Amino acid sequence: MTVLSNRLGGTTGVELEADPPAALLEDDGQARTLGAKIKAYVALTKPRVIELLLITTLPVMFLAAKGVPDLGLVLFTLLWGTMSAGSANAVNCFIDRDIDAKMRRTRRRPLARHQVSPGSALVFGAALGVVSTAGFLLTVNALAAALSVGAILFYVFVYSLLLKRRTKQNVVWGGIAGCMPVLIGWAAVTGSLAWTPFVLFGVVFLWTPPHTWTLAMRYREDYALAGIPMLPVVASEKRVVVESLVYTWATVLCSLALWPVAGLTPVYGAVALILGAVFLLEGHRLLARVNRGLTGAPLRPMRFFHLSNSYLALLFTAVAIDFLFQ
């Protein structure tokens, strides 16, 4: 909830590309209609990523309000939050257009298919950022606006331009941007910050590496071809799974710490324990397969990846509805 060339000042060896000829912008005839063009711009915002961010924003607003928050405030926060995340993602597409074209998972993105010009994508992303910031200032509050701007800048400058292509720790520290919606949701309701949203920030921060690394195990060859030093590219399967499991344990423990810190009911505690047990079981199952030397057989890291999505969604649902049991 994120501007530039692939690297600033030419210091990193990747320069701006010239806009492709107009004919290329109509690749496969898909950019010729207004509907297709709109669809391409929407795709630049990575809607599925935004869904995950909203899943963490709304429950925190319920928790901060200790009940149902003002509907108008919710709608504005989600609207500007969506545009803020879309801004970050569109600029990221601009920065990563060269590697997106090389990877199976991303080669159908609009810039990789020349459905949108790089310049247009950059302007679009910047415009979303400006509008979302103004929206937060006018209809929510200045703290939420500042946090939103911070998330955009962090995703663009720290993750996309500095970390992603340089270090295997890219998603660990880059994941901070994805944790910001938790703080934004709390700030939108209270106009301040407290320990509770920072504990939830910690849950998302610790959850991000195992979630991303197991996806990267599935697309290891893609990342290697693109020269992205994701942990599964530079480390053994066992090391990836062990480190993922360490973060999974930390995620579950942090989720349980929320129980006393936020003064939640035993209902939340029970849900967090059950979800955590299932999450850890799948992580240990993955490790057991590696330890048994089944590297020639499918490790099924995507099972863990999909389970991690469900874990986070259900955990935050429990956060949102806990007030019903008080």
pLDDT tens digits, one per residue of 90-113: 999 999 999 999 888 888 999 999
- Rounded to 5 degrees, φ, ψ at 30 are -85, -15
Judged by phi (left if over 0) then psi (alpha if -120 to 50, else beta), residue 114 lies in left
Q: What per-residue confidence (pLDDT) applies to 20?
A: 42
Task: Summarize pLDDT for 80-96 with one digit per residue, the tens.
Answer: 999 999 999 999 999 99
pLDDT in tens, 173-189: 999 999 999 999 999 99
Higher pLDDT, 65 or 102: 65
pLDDT tens-digit profile of 232-272? 999 999 999 999 999 999 999 999 999 999 999 999 999 99
290 close to 299: Cβ distance less than 8 angstroms = yes
Q: Which amino acid is at 76?
A: F
Number of Cβ atoms within 10 Å of the Cβ of 247: 19
Mean pLDDT of the chain: 88
Please compute the mean of the pLDDT values over residues 124-148 and round it to a whole number: 98
Q: Residues 6 or more apart from 203 whose CB is under 8 A from it?
A: 251, 254, 255, 258, 312, 315
Residue 296's pLDDT is: 56
CB under 8 Å to 194, separation ≥6 — which residues?
186
d(CA 269, CA 82): 30
pLDDT of residue 165: 94
3-class state of residue 299 by DSSP: coil
Q: Which amino acid is at 72?
A: G
pLDDT band at 2 (very low <50, low <70, confident <90, very high): very low
Q: Which domains does the chain carry?
A: 1-6+33-188 (1.10.357.140), 194-326 (1.20.120.1780)
pLDDT of residue 105: 84
pLDDT at 1: 44
| The predicted structure's pLDDT at residue 51 | 83
Q: Is residue 291 predicted with pLDDT exceeding 70?
A: yes
Is a pLDDT exceeding 80 seen at residue 31?
Answer: no
pTM of the model: 0.87
Return d(Cα 101, Cα 260) in angstroms, integer: 47
Task: Read off the pLDDT band of 16 (50, 70, 90).
Answer: very low
CA distance 322 to 326: 7
- Stretch 279-305: mean pLDDT: 84
d(CA 206, CA 172): 8
Question: What is the three-state SS of 103-122?
Answer: CCCCCCCCCCCCCCCHHHHH
Strands (E), the chain: none
The two tokens of residue 186 are 């709390």
Give the per-residue pLDDT at 261: 97
Residue that the structure tokens 């955590």 belong to = 276
pLDDT 10s digits, 39-56: 999 999 999 888 888 899
